[in-house]
């Protein structure tokens, strides 16, 4: 995870502010109580300009996350989508990561979020390979975390909330401390859930498996894309609960996420997965994914949201 590469403007509550001016008060509610929901997506440089991968779906998920935590957003998904396109143009970026966030701001302290105003901001900046430059080609190592995925009745994994990422951070630090690249969390029933910032897939005998949403995971947009791609390519793909031994004995395991894209896992808890590098099915899906986000596959044009150049 690289140092932050600053861009020029950040959008906040309808205005474009200079990067350094886009701040919030120390007593902002979200800072104390985790009352924020956010999104993460990538804008790719394609042959026809800059295009954001599944921008409407990400904004719709933000709106849903806000609804789940009963936080009124004063912008529609469409307005946020327009603001994002405008912001990428204003920053003159060809490719970047996009981070919209809606949070309870300054004005009230105390557990009840409702008296605090809701602020919405969008930041865009260049962000390279999430798990390191080698990871996409050779895979990363992972460890099963001693921290569990929260249950559906406690900061649910289905909400992309800042509060939920405390758990991700605990799991990620533990993985790093144990010498692994990333953590895999099991849920309270012991079923495989997801990575600290990714969904997970396994391949066994040419069939793909990924945990169902009911195992308490984030409904990843990359996950949804890979499910569609795999089926379109003729693979059998099952959404079914997995236990940790399914991971140890899989032919291939990989992570998916907006930041992580499609990242192979080479070993889990010190056990080599398959050949210990990017497996053949992972290779097919990863290259298809990268072709699509390069704007070269007309079949999936619907997933690419074009950022028109300024006149
Ligand atoms: N699970 C978790 C816990 C998660 O954080 C992400 C995305 C996913 C699954 C995959 O979702 P999607 O991006 O829709 O395919 N993690 C974001 C945050 C990364 C960060 O460190 O910040 C991301 O990939 O943008």
**pLDDT tens for each residue of 228-284:** 999 999 999 999 999 999 999 999 999 999 999 999 999 999 999 999 999 999 999
Predicted local confidence at residue 187, as pLDDT: 98
Average pLDDT rounded to a whole number, residues 84-100: 97
Where do the CATH 3.30.470.10 domains begin and end in the chain?
A: 9-125
**Per-residue pLDDT for 93 more than 80?**
yes
Q: Which residues pair with 17 in a beta bridge?
A: 10
Classify residue 117 as exposed, middle or buried by CB count within 10 Å of its CB (0-12, 13-18, 19+): middle
Predicted local confidence at residue 306, as pLDDT: 96
16 belongs to the catalytic site:
no
Structure token digits, residue 55: 């921008």
Express as a percent the part of the chain with pLDDT over 90.
95
Average pLDDT rounded to a whole number, residues 81-98: 97
Q: Do residues 144 and 268 make contact, with C-beta atoms less than 8 angstroms apart?
A: yes
At 310, the pLDDT band (50, 70, 90 cuts) reads low
Task: Report how far apart, in Å, the C-alpha atoms of 91 and of each of 14, 16, 23, 84, 271 are.
Answer: 16, 10, 18, 11, 44
Q: How far is CA 120 from the centre of its chain?
A: 19
Q: Say how far apart CA 48 and CA 284 lie, in whole Å.
A: 24
Q: Say how far apart CA 297 and CA 277 lie, in whole Å.
A: 27
Rounded to the nearest whole angstrom, what is the distance from the C-alpha of residue 225 to the centroid of ligand 1? 14
Average pLDDT rounded to a whole number, residues 292-301: 96
Q: Say how far apart CA 228 and CA 295 lie, in whole Å.
A: 17
At 309, the pLDDT band (50, 70, 90 cuts) reads low
Q: Measured from the CB, is residue 199 less than 6 Å from ligand 1?
A: yes
Q: Say how far apart CA 155 and CA 149 lie, in whole Å.
A: 10
Predicted local confidence at residue 2, as pLDDT: 53
Higher pLDDT: 60 or 308? It is 60
The chain-wide mean pLDDT, for the chain, equals 96
Q: How many residues does the chain have?
A: 311
Q: Do residues 201 and 256 make contact, with C-beta atoms less than 8 angstroms apart?
A: yes
CATH code for residues 9-125: 3.30.470.10
Q: Measured from the CB, is residue 252 less than 6 Å from ligand 1?
A: no
Structure token digits, residue 118: 């809701």
At 311, the pLDDT band (50, 70, 90 cuts) reads very low
Predicted local confidence at residue 308, as pLDDT: 79
Q: Which residues pair with 307 in a beta bridge?
A: 50
Q: Do residues 285 and 267 make contact, with C-beta atoms less than 8 angstroms apart?
A: no
Higher pLDDT: 129 or 21? It is 21
Q: Measured from the CB, is residue 198 less than 6 Å from ligand 1?
A: yes
Rg, Å, the chain Cα set: 19
Rounded to the nearest whole angstrom, what is the distance from the C-alpha of residue 41 to the centroid of ligand 1? 9
Where do the CATH 3.20.10.10 domains begin and end in the chain?
A: 133-293
* Domain 133-293 sits in CATH 3.40.50.2300: no
């Amino acid at each position: 995870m690289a140092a932050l590469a600053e861009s020029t403007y950040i959008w906040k509550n309808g205005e474009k502010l200079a990067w350094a001016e886009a701040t919030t008060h120390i007593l902002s509610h979200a800072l104390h109580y985790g009352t924020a929901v956010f999104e993460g997506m990538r804008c790719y440089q394609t042959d026809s300009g800059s295009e954001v991968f599944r921008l409407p779906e990400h904004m719709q998920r933000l709106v849903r996350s806000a609804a789940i935590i009963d936080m009124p957003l004063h912008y529609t998904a469409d307005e946020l989508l327009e603001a994002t396109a405008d912001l990428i143009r204003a920053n003159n970026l060809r490719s970047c990561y996009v981070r919209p966030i809606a949070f309870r701001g300054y004005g009230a302290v105390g557990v009840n979020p409702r008296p605090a105003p809701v602020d919405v901001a969008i930041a865009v900046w260049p962000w390279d390979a999430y798990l390191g430059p080698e990871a996409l080609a050779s895979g990363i190592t992972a460890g099963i975390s001693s921290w569990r995925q929260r249950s559906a009745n406690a900061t649910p994994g289905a909400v992309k909330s800042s509060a939920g990422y405390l758990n991700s951070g605990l799991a990620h630090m533990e993985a790093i401390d144990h010498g692994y690249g990333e953590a895999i969390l099991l849920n309270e029933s012991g079923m495989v859930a997801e990575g600290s910032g990714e969904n997970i897939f396994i391949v066994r005998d040419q069939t793909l498996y990924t945990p169902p949403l009911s195992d308490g995971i984030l409904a990843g947009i990359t996950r949804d894309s890979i499910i569609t791609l795999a089926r379109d390519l003729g693979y059998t793909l099952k959404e079914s609960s997995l236990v940790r031994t399914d991971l140890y004995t899989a032919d291939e395991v990989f992570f998916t996420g907006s930041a992580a894209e499609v990242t192979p896992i080479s070993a889990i808890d010190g056990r080599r997965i398959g050949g210990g590098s990017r497996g053949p099915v992972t290779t097919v899906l990863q290259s298809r994914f990268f072709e699509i986000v390069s704007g070269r596959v007309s079949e999936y044009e619907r997933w690419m949201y074009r950022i028109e150049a300024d006149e």
